Amino acid sequence: MEVSPAAKSVVYRLNPLADPRWEEFLRGHPRATVFHSTPWIEALCRSYGYEPAVLTTSPPDAPLRNGLAVCRIDSRLTGRRLVSLPFSDHCEPLLDENADWRAVFSSLDQELRRRKLRYVEIRPVGDIDRSLTPSSSTHAYCLHQLDLTPPLDALFQRFHKSSIQRKIHRAGKEQLHYEEGRTDPLLEAFYNLLLITRRRHELPPQPRIWFRNLIDSFKDTLKIRVALKEKTPIAAILTLRFKDTLVYKYGGSAAQYHNLGGMHLLFWKTIQEGKRAGLHTFDFGRSDYDNEGLITFKDRWGATRSTLNYFRITNAPQSNQKFIPTGADWKGRIATRVLSRLQPRMTEVFADWIYKHIG
């Protein structure tokens, strides 16, 4: 429990993995997403050893009416900080009243100074009134979401004719095989394609244990989807389901088979499944604004584009506040150079070590 002097309110901390009020609160909150969920937080903590907490103005003996989820990252490489939440495309602060905003962010500012943290990072979906938060730096990403409520035929007609519709038809002509599930062979196929793709882009792959923990935590709300040419896996994606939304989170493909439409088949199958289940949204995930190819690909599915404005609260003077995404600074560039020279097995070992420091 902390008293926020600026807001004259009490801010409490709860463990979202131990307090059943958190899941109950998420079920009823319209802005709650998969990145707030207990399975997501559980997988983060099991994989990387982070310490989770939810800050709220609701007393321990009362139902939750608000909350901001954070994980504490203690890293000698990238510094000590709070992130809401690590490896999450977005994680909206579930705070509805201005007084709650001021109380929670005043508490975060106190913790920043008391623990001498590098920063506190927040990843909202919507715009935030900055007068309610301490001074901060920002970084923008692109988010794509597809409305699944129109009829399936209408959705298909909105797809780009040559880039999407024809590739879906091509996948059919090539008689690509589709498999889905959470079995070890599917995980192996997915992870091998992920390794190939991350190496192609000179990026460290996520640790294999991360995906095993996601499977264990999400159970049947997680699916690995694989496209095969005959018996060869050529493309794979991992999706998560939460409430009325399907989320595309990870994917990989073999470049020599790109012309066969494997990824297009997987996204189309996912959209069809979402329609059958009566879901409302397919979340294509975030993209860096300098990745024009990925943004264009998502645009061509008819998804709506919006901007995610991450922000960091720091102790640095305003003139020195610059938001450099973790992994994009000089340390990240050195790690990328090292990665590009490693053999595949050593790449996995390196990923196991580096990822907990990124967040």
Quick one: which of 186, 162, 179, 150 has its CA closest to 271?
Answer: 150
Amino acid at 241: R
344 lies in a domain? Answer: no
Closest of 215, 300, 297 to residue 253, by C-alpha: 297
- Quick one: 151 and 296 in the same domain? yes
Instruction: Please check whether residues 76 and 130 belong to one and the same domain.
Output: yes
Total structural domains in the chain? 2
Residue 92 lies in a domain: yes
Query: What does each of the 359 residues of the chain score in pLDDT, given as a tens digit?
Result: 665 555 467 999 999 999 999 999 999 999 999 999 999 999 999 999 999 999 999 999 999 999 999 999 998 888 899 999 999 999 999 998 989 999 999 999 999 999 999 999 999 998 777 776 666 788 999 999 999 999 999 999 999 999 999 999 999 999 999 999 999 999 999 999 999 998 888 888 899 999 999 999 999 999 999 999 999 999 999 999 999 999 999 999 999 999 999 999 999 999 999 999 999 999 999 999 999 999 999 999 999 999 999 999 887 655 455 656 665 554 555 656 666 566 666 777 777 777 888 87
Strand partners, 122: 84, 311
Sequence-distant (≥ 6) Cβ neighbours of residue 15 within 8 angstroms? 52, 53, 54
Tell me which residue of 144, 149, 157 sits closest to 244, measured CA to CA. Answer: 149
Indicate if 205 and 249 belong to the same structural domain. yes
Instruction: Say whether both 137 and 155 belong to one domain.
Output: no
Residues 74 and 183 in one domain: no
**Is residue 127 included in any domain, yes or no?**
yes
- State whether 136 and 166 are in the same domain: no
Contacts of 274 (CB under 8 A, 6+ apart): 148, 246, 282
Q: Are residues 8 and 123 in the same domain?
A: yes
74 and 122 in a common domain? yes
Claim to verify: residue 313 and residue 298 sit in the same structural domain: no
Strand boundaries in the chain, DSSP class E: 2-4, 9-14, 51-56, 68-75, 79-84, 119-122, 136-147, 177-181, 222-229, 232-242, 245-253, 281-288, 304-313
In a domain, 162, yes or no: yes
Residue 358 lies inside a defined structural domain of this protein: no
Q: What whole-number distance in Å separates Cα of residue 23 and Cα of residue 203?
A: 34
Q: Are residues 125 and 154 in the same domain?
A: no
Tell me, rounded to whole angstroms, the distance of Cα 161 from its chain centroid: 29
Helices first, then strands: H and E counts in the chain: 11, 13
Extract the tokens encoding 152: 């399936």
Q: Indicate if 312 and 289 belong to the same structural domain.
A: no
Beta carbons of 205 and 198 less than 8 angstroms apart: yes
**Does pTM surpass 0.85?**
yes
- Is residue 342 assigned to a domain? no
Q: Are residues 206 and 229 in the same domain?
A: yes
Instruction: Indicate left, alpha or beta for 202 from its phi (over 0: left) and psi (-120 to 50: alpha).
Output: left
Task: Please report whether residue 343 resides in a domain.
Answer: no
Domain final residue pick, 262, 277, 304: 304
Q: Domain span at residue 318? A: 2-142+308-323
